Amino acid sequence: QKEVEQDPGPLSVPEGAIVSLNCTYSNSAFQYFMWYRQYSRKGPELLMYTYSSGNKEDGRFTAQVDKSSKYISLFIRDSQPSDSATYLCAMPSEGGSEKLVFGKGTKLTVNP
């Protein structure tokens, strides 16, 4: 089983929609979770990080962790065309906490 699984999409939504992006993971010891955003022809950049269980909110973005189900989510409220990007979940690799393992990324398009 891969450490991190992420549905690659693509996902296309109308402007203003609520978007839900998800990842599952295999190592129950993970304590730290990240979401990166990657615009076309750019490198990924950190969007949000969260520790352990629960929610973290930052403007229109909410990161949620369900450790019992080994499931993390990123919600985008009132989605905008500028949110169109690929979103990658990330967490420390089982091989060492100094490395990150990334999901495959979900490509999101928000249509005006």
Partner 1 sequence: DADVTQTPRNRITKTGKRIMLECSQTKGHDRMYWYRQDPGLGLQLIYYSFDVKDINKGEISDGYSVSRQAQAKFSLSLESAIPNQTALYFCATSPPGTADGGEQFFGPGTRLTVL
> Which lies closer to partner 1 via its Cβ, residue 18 or residue 46?
46
**Residue 24 binds partner 1 (CB under 8 A):** no
- Cβ at position 56, least distance to partner 1 in Å: 15
Closest alpha carbon to 107 in 17, 19, 3, 18: 19
- Among positions 45, 58, 66, 78, the unique one binding partner 1 when judged by CB under 8 A: 45
Q: Are strands 106-111 and 11-14 parallel, antiparallel or unpaired?
A: parallel
Q: Does 102 bind partner 1 (CB under 8 A)?
A: yes
Give the whole-angstrom CA distance, residue 79 versus residue 83. 6
Tokens at 4, concatenated: 């991190």
Q: If you ran DSSP here, which 8-state letter would residue 82 be given?
A: G
Q: Could you say which of 44, 74, 79, 110 contacts partner 1 (CB under 8 A)?
A: 44
How far is it, in rounded angstroms, from Cα 43 to Cα 53? 28
Residue type present at position 7: D
8 makes contact with partner 1 (CB under 8 A): yes
Among 21, 87, 105, 110, binds partner 1 (CB under 8 A): 105
Residues that bind partner 1 (CB under 8 A): 6, 8, 31-32, 34, 41-46, 49, 88, 90-93, 97-100, 102-105
